[in-house]
Amino acid sequence: MPSQEAIAQTVNRYLEFLSKGSADDIASLYAADATIEDPIGSDIRRGHDAVREFYAAVEGIKKETELVHLRIGGSEAAFFWHLTLDAGGSRSRLSPISVMRFDDDAKITSMRAFWSPTDMKVL
């Protein structure tokens, strides 16, 4: 089982890479057969190619992330965070709750994000 410190480091790197990194940077945090369900109820994506494709869709958008609360138990983490998107003349914020499961090397094996389009707020 990964340490709480290793899990916290992966979560923080995930948020850092999401705001300032590339899809490849983010994919490097995931295990080879990882799954993403973002948002909950959407099709589940599996494997590095699907992970990379998912994050490549938002790679060129100016964004900021902020970790609000992080809870770690065993090999899982749940965290509430803000994603602020800057689309030129307008800014909006989404505040999902993400749940991640990790392998022994603190690589993400699954990520599930709880949010819906009605949660998006214009700033």
Structural domain span for residue 92: 4-122
* pTM for the whole structure: 0.95
Q: Using a CB cutoff of 8 Å and minimum separation of 24, what contacts does 119-123 make?
A: 119/94, 119/95, 120/92, 120/93, 120/94, 121/92, 121/93, 121/94, 122/90, 122/91, 122/92, 123/84, 123/91, 123/92, 123/93
The one catalytic residue in 14, 24, 30, 104 is 14
Whether 14 is a known active-site residue: answer: yes
Between CA 85 and CA 106 the distance in angstroms is: 28
Q: Report the percentage of the chain scoring pLDDT > 70.
A: 100
Between CA 74 and CA 105 the distance in angstroms is: 13
Give the pairing of strands 76-86 and 97-102: antiparallel
CATH code, domain carrying 49: 3.10.450.50
Secondary element (H or E) of residue 56: helix 48-56
How confident is the model over 38-47, as a mean pLDDT?
97
Closest CA to 86 of 61, 105, 66, 119: 61
The one catalytic residue in 24, 38, 43, 55 is 38
- pLDDT, tens only, 52-101: 999 999 888 899 999 999 999 999 999 999 999 998 788 999 999 999 99
The total domain count for the chain is 1
